[in-house]
Amino acid sequence: MSHIKVGLKPEQIKAIQEICKSFNNEPGELINVLHKTQGYFGYLPAEVQEVIAANLNISVAKVYGVVTFYSFFTMIPKGKHPISVCTGTACYVRGAEKVLDEFKRILEIKVGETSADGKFSLSCLRCVGACGLAPVVLVGEKVYGRVSPDGVKDIIKEYQD
């Protein structure tokens, strides 16, 4: 993954320092710190990881190792409308993969990527507890149930303005 400079503003550095401090700069709290920081930034660019490493007094390589190990963490900014397709067991057997393929085809992106215009990003998740509505798709906070491959283009159209 390339090292893209985002140019952190002083207040952003301060925000990360605050998050680290709220976990007492404990190296053992790295995952919690990353979780909270991703909540704040939406993603974890290289410089953000460098700030975290410096404050928790661990190596940047180690932070990057954890970020790349867990699929929850991402170094790519999420789209304006993040799309999550549930591929848990129930959704999967009811055709989630075909739904996912249709999103990939229309948006021309792979799982974990963001569309060129920054509008949509695509990810998979495992079970949102609405198995009765399988297959389930989330766009932002909104839940769509019993989605068929044919219905995918209508969902995208809702956010196309």
**# residues near another protein by CB under 8 A:** 23
Q: 10 to each of 58, 94, 115, 145, how far by Cα in Å?
A: 21, 48, 29, 43
Report the distance separating Cα 2 and Cα 137, nearest Å.
30
Q: Pick the closer one to another protein by CB: 11 or 161.
A: 11
* 22 is an interface residue for another protein by CB under 8 A: no
The least CB distance from residue 129 to another protein, in Å, is: 26
Nearer to another protein, 61 or 157 (CB): 61
Nearest-angstrom CA–CA distance, 104 and 54: 38
Rounded Cα–Cα distance for residues 26 and 58 (Å): 10
Residue of 96, 121, 99 lying closest to 111 (CA atoms): 121
Q: Say which residue the tokens 């297959």 belong to.
A: 135
Nearer to another protein, 2 or 39 (CB): 2
Touching another protein, residues 36-75 (CB under 8 A): 46, 49-51, 53-55, 58-65, 68-69, 71
- Which run of H or E residues covers position 125? strand 120-125
Instruction: Compare residues 66 and 143 and give the one whose CB is closer to another protein.
Output: 66
Half-sphere exposure of 2 (CA within 13 A, CB side): 3
Question: Binding another protein by CB under 8 A: which of 1, 6, 93, 116?
Answer: 1
Binding to another protein in span 71-110, by CB under 8 A: 71
Choose between 31 and 54: whose C-beta lies nearer to another protein. Answer: 54
Which residues contact another protein by CB under 8 A?
1-3, 13, 17, 46, 49-51, 53-55, 58-65, 68-69, 71
